[in-house]
Structure 1
Amino acid sequence: MRPPISPLPFLTQIPDWRAPTRIHYPWDALWTVILTGLLAGPPNILALTQWLAGHREVLCQHLGLDRLPQQAMIYRFFWSLDQHLPELQGVLLDWVKAQHPTAHDHLVILAGDGKVLKGSAREGRTALSFLSIFFHELALTVAQVDQAGRHEAKGMQDLLPTLTTLFGNGWLMTLDAAYTERELTTRIDEAGGAYLVPLKNNTRSLKEWAKFAFTYPAHDHVVDVERRSGEIWERRTSVITGAQVPEEIKEGLCGVQTLIRREHQVTRRDGIQRVEVRYAVSSRLLTAQEAERIWRGHWGIENRSHHCRDVVLHEDACRLRRGAQGRAMLNGVIVALLSGQTCQITALVRHLTIDPLLALQLLIPDLASR
């Protein structure tokens, strides 16, 4: 995959919201400084300001500035950004289209899940929680909405029009069991997309029908064996499609075309085995190999996005509440930028922490030739 196109030219298209009498920095320079600071993975706004101050000479020299924004200005930037989230979402979608112009030409695999910002909790107030959709191919959170105390499935419905605008009818979203309900699956189908959701105890009757269906041999199955730290991980995935799917499952969820059984067996060094069997359904016709790849890939939203944002960018540790959603969306952009450079994101951020010029070059690729 080629490195991502710089998001800077897109982000600077957001109209400058500052009062003319309070402008001290060019709009593009302000965005560049803040994104450069975020690439260094600061745990909070104070740390971001201190990192910028520590590299003031290099940054001012290459950006043509005589000083850098102070802590109060950066706070105000994120506070104001939270008031312009539709504009931010719009330019990020333009960035995705530029980075991935062929998205309409093939099936796009997405993952949806919630993300809690633990550091935003206050006495008497719960932590902020956002619902997000992750685009595996770019390692980018393409859409995000405040859960605002709603059930996860209700909030996720607000993001569906964005996906249709961006990917047309060629997208499939994987979700966890909290989203396995008829209303959401119906809305996904109406939006022109497809879904893959698990059947667990919150849909006990559908899960029992799935177990019954697989008492008969499935004709399409795939086996994947992996050795990991002396253990043997064996995954057996089987599918039932079309008319063979029980009518009770089709009535319970909209548009079901594929029923999936996934058996996960782990054999430890001492010979002890652990076996887990899970079931899922999809509104798209899938082979066993496709079902295994897509279902297993769902956890990319945790491993490649949420985990990176918490461990590398310290999102969970940040106490910011006002302005938190805008920063969370920018953190998603930072993860996509870093993922486009290397799989060793932690090592790269450590390098960026001591080399601000390299961080600038990620945002301004032609800086090296100046």
Structure 2
Amino acid sequence: MNETPRIPSPIPYLMQVPDLRAHNTTYDWRMLFMLVLMGLGSGRTNVLAIAQWVEDQRDWLLAQGFGRRANGKALPAQATLYRFVWALEQQVSALEEALKAWALEVLKVLDPAHPGQMVVNLAGKYLKGSARRGVGDQALLLVSAYLGQLGLSLWQGKALGDEAVAGRQLIMQLGPELSELGIPWVVTADAAHTEAQTAAAILEKGGTTSSRSRRTRLP
């Protein structure tokens, strides 16, 4: 019987995000990450809901050792969780890198949905209200590289007005991390990315293009 793959904990990776708070903080950085992750895993998707979940699970959490540094008899309130999230917002790049490193490790232990290859989808959306035609400002376009096997975006990019430009910028960020896994991967995209410049960017990364299949295979 095959053993169920053991998914690595994200905590060691998240602990690489520096704690820039004052040294005399009441709650441990690791503990706050764990509480937020457990809240998210319980279906709470915002700070208010996570804070309510912490309060609802108070007795159990305290029994597990989730408490303040001094006496272990109190849990972080809503304001503390907001401050924690605000601290993370100041280090978004470090947080994204930590989560990306964890996600790539998860891929190493999971059987891919399509054996022998991973599929990364490029998709873009315009940010509503970002265009100001009166002053000539183009709409801001956000593009993500979505990894279907994990159900998350590993990379994100942005550009003004042109999805193909944003896509090319993102393509130039792809490659090394996934190549190190030793698994071939394929980029899929819609018609907005079918331009000669995009094909050139893909070839520069060592990939190949096929208009017939509308796919781009990168090493």
- The answer on 1:109 being equivalent to 2:100 is no
Q: Distance in 2 between matches of 1:155 and 1:110?
A: 16
Q: Give the CA deviation at 1:186.
A: 1.9
Contact 2:143 2:163 in 1 (8 A): yes
Q: Choose which of 134, 138, 150 in structure 2 pairs with 1:138.
A: 150
Which SS does the other structure have where 1:109 is aligned?
strand
Q: Give the CA deviation at 1:130.
A: 4.0
Q: Partner of 2:170 in structure 1?
A: 159
Q: Give the CA deviation at 1:20.
A: 1.7
% same residue = 32
Which SS does the other structure have where 1:163 is aligned?
coil
Q: Partner of 2:212 in structure 1?
A: 259
Larger-Rg structure:
1
AA aligned opposite 2:121: A
Query: Between Structure 1 and Structure 2, how many residues are aligned?
Result: 195
1:1-370 to 2 correspondences below 5 Å: 2=5, 4-21=7-24, 23-65=25-67, 66-101=73-108, 106-114=116-124, 130-145=142-157, 147=158, 149-168=160-179, 170-194=184-208, 256-260=209-213, 281-284=214-217
AA aligned opposite 2:192: A
Which SS does the other structure have where 2:119 is aligned?
strand
Q: Distance in 2 between matches of 1:108 and 1:77?
A: 34
CA-to-partner distance for each residue in 1:101-129, whole Å, 9 max, x for gaps?
A: 489x95432112136788xx89x9xx997
AA aligned opposite 1:56: R
AA aligned opposite 2:165: K
Q: Give the CA deviation at 1:175.
A: 0.9
Which SS does the other structure have where 1:94 is aligned?
helix
Q: Partner of 1:306 in structure 2?
A: none
Q: Distance in 1 between matches of 2:81 and 2:90?
A: 15
Contact 2:186 2:215 in 1 (8 A): no
Q: Distance in 2 between matches of 1:55 and 1:24?
A: 20
Q: TM-score, normalised by structure 2?
A: 0.72
Q: Distance in 2 between matches of 1:128 and 1:142?
A: 20
Contact 1:114 1:152 in 2 (8 A): yes
Q: Using CA pairs below 8 Å that are at least 6 residues apart, which structure has the higher relative contact order?
A: 1
Q: Could you say which structure has the higher helix fraction?
A: 1
Which SS does the other structure have where 2:91 is aligned?
helix
Q: Give the CA deviation at 1:173.
A: 0.7
What do you get for the CA RMSD once the two structures are aligned? 3.3
Q: Give the CA deviation at 1:83.
A: 2.4
Q: Distance in 2 between matches of 1:5 and 1:257?
A: 36
AA aligned opposite 2:98: V
**Which runs of 5 or more residues in structure 1 are unaligned?**
195-255, 261-280, 285-370
**Which runs of 5 or more residues in structure 2 are unaligned?**
68-72, 133-138
Q: Give the CA deviation at 1:90.
A: 2.0
CA-to-partner distance for each residue in 1:62-109, whole Å, 9 max, x for gaps?
A: 134132222222223223323212212222232133223489x95432
Q: Distance in 1 between matches of 2:207 and 2:87?
A: 34
Which SS does the other structure have where 1:50 is aligned?
helix
Is the alpha carbon distance of 1:5 and 1:180 closer, same or farther for their aligned partners in structure 2, counting shifts above 3 Å?
same
Is the alpha carbon distance of 1:60 and 1:48 closer, same or farther for their aligned partners in structure 2, counting shifts above 3 Å?
same
Is the alpha carbon distance of 1:158 and 1:257 closer, same or farther for their aligned partners in structure 2, counting shifts above 3 Å?
closer
Contact 2:120 2:185 in 1 (8 A): yes
CA-to-partner distance for each residue in 1:189-230, whole Å, 9 max, x for gaps?
A: 212345xxxxxxxxxxxxxxxxxxxxxxxxxxxxxxxxxxxx
